[in-house]
Amino acid sequence: MAGWSCLVTGAGGFLGQRIIRLLVEEKELQEIRALDKVFRPELREEFSKLQSKVKLTLLEGDILDEQCVKRACQGTSAVIHTASVIDVFNIIPKETILNVNVKGTQNLLEACAQASVPVFIYTSTMEVAGPNSYREVIQNAHEEEHRETRWSSPYPYSKKLAERAVLAANGWALKNGGTLYTCALRPPFIYGEGSPLLYGFIDHALKNNGVLTHNSKLAIVNPAYVGNVAWAHILALRALRDPRKVLNIQGQFYYISDDTPHQSYDDLNYTLSKEWGFCLDSRMSLPISLKYWLGFLLEIVSFLLSPVYQYRPPFNRHVVTLLNSVFTISYKKAQRELGYEPLFSWEKAKQKTMEWVGSLVEQHKETLKTKTH
């Protein structure tokens, strides 16, 4: 298997970048193909520094473009598919989410079969399993329970369909007579330097005198650090390329978490930013049951207005459930079968993320200075 190559989709994204930084260290890897719709200039510069270790080809293109996907897969040994539209708050049109997350994944699977790419790893999400109800307490969920989301919200629904397609493609015959081996990884909320969601919370707080909004006081979740989630992808790639391990791992999905303490999203945001003077909003919030039914009413309003106006509610029942549930996952199966152990401790992950939050605070101060001069 000497001299192999790997295609990473969503390579310019929060997780994709981290996978590439770890991938360059892999043995006998000759080329990484990094596919994304666009690469920011500073990322191009960072990736160019990795060229000394391995050939890194940047491909700007869309996974909905079948020809682009075919070209990207040609002569590749493995695909790590992280590209996806992530939309927790239902801001993006449903068609866009389903197109990219489901159709884009199907395009890639078909291209792999045609180009005889034997390994396919899919970045799924914990949300394909739940939470389904804020009243239900799920702790250390594991793969044997076969949990499934009942929400029809575009993001979890599209990821569920895409994951299903990936696992069903395991065992497909390839054009050269080989076999396609697939697996899916289900991380929870991913935090770390560069997190778009965390950036949104911090940016909002900076404009609000350092007060963090509180949406999820009662939730208990286990977020995972981006470096650890990226590491799990590398281990899944090694396992699917290893003739001794592949038979156990093919067609499987794995929950990926780490040793970040179980806490609410609010507490995580506060922990990562309190050193810089941020505080949580102390005002009373509505009871969850009331917020849930208010979300339902907003959904009805949105539905009734839909023939004449696209009204996007500030929240809905799915968002209320997601932000207020006790839902944690266990990474024991990934530990057993992939040899997964977190690469970064909670202390290290916290320190790195806090430093990044500090840099955002400094940038904000500089911007304010510029405006006043």
Distance CA 108, CA 111 (A): 5
Distance CA 90, CA 157 (A): 12
Contact 8, 33 (CB under 8 A): yes
Contact 157, 149 (CB under 8 A): yes
Contact 257, 279 (CB under 8 A): no
3-state secondary structure of 371: helix
Instruction: For residue 267, give both structure tokens.
Output: 């507490």
Distance CA 250, CA 295 (A): 40
Question: Residue 194, by phi and psi: left (phi above 0), alpha (psi -120 to 50) or beta?
Answer: left
Instruction: For residue 352, give both structure tokens.
Output: 């790195």
What is the C-alpha end-to-end distance of the chain, expressed in Å?
61
Largest CA distance in the chain: 68
In sequence order, what are the residues at sequence separation of 6 or more whose Cβ sits closer than 8 angstroms to the Cβ of residue 216?
Answer: 264, 265, 266, 323, 324
Contact 140, 333 (CB under 8 A): no
Instruction: For residue 250, give both structure tokens.
Output: 């093919």
Q: Which of 122, 134, 155, 265 is catalytic?
A: 155
Q: Is 181 a catalytic residue?
A: no
- Look-up of token digits 């804020």: 134
Distance CA 180, CA 114 (A): 11
**Residue 280 forms beta bridges with which residues?**
212
Distance CA 323, CA 132 (A): 11
Question: Residue 10, by phi and psi: left (phi above 0), alpha (psi -120 to 50) or beta?
Answer: left
Q: What sign does the dihedral 300-305-307-309 (CA atoms) show? A: negative
Cite the active site residues.
Answer: 155
